[in-house]
């Protein structure tokens, strides 16, 4: 049985390939930065690991600013509309963000494994005098899912302004503020959850370590659900933005 690819998916894949070509320097820079950050996490310091999410938070703005007349001519030559370009760019942002999210989580694990001085986690899990509220094997997926959720929320806030028009300069601080707000919100929720578990643990008959492990697993499930929902919402918003461009309702470029 032969599998055929729908025309819309074919155009989406073509748009993604064009975006990869147009932004190859940014993609190459991301790969190089990721390698350097991982090596530094194991040999020197984990500070570069925490630049990765900031790099990802600025992707919507950076890719929008890189768009120019040459890019428009290339897309026109391939019969790709601005709506196709928007879909392709959104897919590229998600792919690069995924890479940087994994790099952050893995780099943190490397730094913790070699017991680097100053190795910290921006995802506050709560804890006791004996250690973190979640064991390290669970802390890493929790961290990755949390960062992914934070970056998706950032995209929901700044994505439209950075894709339907050429983003103005003020969008880069707004991107960082949006990401910072998402970090603060998820950290407060995680702290509240950790505090609640510590208060409830004496009321259960579970050993402390087992209770903490169950709490970590529950965090993973909850974060995974929230991330899937946020990605679905972002996907729907991208369709709305692209639909407005297809209908000729785009906002004029500034």
What is the full DSSP assignment across 63-102?
Answer: HHHH--HHHHHHHHHTT--HHHHHHHHHHHHHHHHHHHHH
Check whether 120 has a pLDDT greater than 70: no
The answer to whether the CB of 100 falls within 8 A of the CB of 30 is: yes
Residues in the chain: 254
Residue 118 per-residue DSSP state: T
Q: What does the pLDDT look like over 220-229, one tens digit per residue?
A: 888 999 999 9
Q: Which of 119-123, 153-157, 239-243 has the highest mean pLDDT?
A: 153-157
Check whether 57 has a pLDDT greater than 60: yes
Instruction: Please give the pLDDT value at position 75.
Output: 72
The three-class DSSP label of residue 123 is coil
The answer to whether the CB of 69 falls within 8 A of the CB of 166 is: no
The answer to whether the CB of 27 falls within 8 A of the CB of 17 is: no
* Mean pLDDT score of the chain: 80
Q: What does the pLDDT look like over 2-16, one tens digit per residue?
A: 444 566 677 778 888
Closest CA relative to residue 163, chosen from 81, 60, 13: 60
Q: Which of 42-46, 99-103, 113-117, 228-232 is the least confident region?
A: 113-117
The three-class DSSP label of residue 204 is coil
Q: Tell me the two tokens of residue 68.
A: 């120019």
Q: What does the pLDDT look like over 168-226, one tens digit per residue?
A: 889 999 999 999 999 998 888 878 777 777 776 666 666 766 767 777 788 888 899 99
Instruction: Please give the pLDDT value at position 127.
Output: 40
CA distances from 129 to 126, 132, 139, 166 (A): 10, 8, 17, 50
Closest CA relative to residue 82, chosen from 143, 146, 155, 164: 164
The answer to whether the CB of 211 falls within 8 A of the CB of 63 is: no
């Amino acid at each position: 049985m032969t599998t055929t690819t729908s025309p819309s998916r074919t155009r989406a894949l073509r748009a993604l390939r064009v975006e990869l070509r147009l932004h190859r320097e940014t993609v190459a820079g991301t790969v190089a930065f990721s390698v350097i950050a991982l090596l530094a996490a194991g040999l020197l310091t984990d500070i570069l690991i925490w630049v990765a999410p900031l790099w990802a938070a600025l992707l919507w703005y950076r890719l929008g600013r890189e768009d120019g007349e040459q890019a428009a001519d290339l897309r026109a030559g391939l019969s790709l509309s601005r709506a196709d370009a928007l879909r392709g760019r959104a897919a590229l942002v998600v792919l690069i963000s995924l890479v940087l999210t994994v790099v952050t989580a893995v780099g943190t694990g490397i730094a913790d494994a070699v017991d680097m001085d100053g190795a910290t986690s921006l995802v506050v899990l709560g804890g006791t005098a004996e250690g973190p509220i979640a064991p390290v094997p669970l802390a890493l997926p929790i961290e990755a899912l949390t960062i992914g959720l934070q970056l998706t929320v950032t995209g929901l806030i700044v994505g439209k302004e950075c894709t339907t028009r050429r983003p103005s300069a003020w969008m880069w601080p707004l991107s960082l503020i949006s990401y910072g707000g998402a970090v603060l919100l998820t950290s407060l929720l995680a702290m509240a959850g950790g505090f609640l578990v510590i208060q409830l643990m004496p009321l259960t008959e579970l050993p402390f370590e087992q209770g903490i492990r169950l709490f970590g697993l529950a965090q993973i499930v909850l974060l995974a659900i929230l991330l899937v929902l946020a990605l679905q919402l972002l996907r729907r918003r991208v369709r709305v933005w692209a639909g407005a461009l297809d209908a000729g309702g785009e906002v004029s470029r500034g």
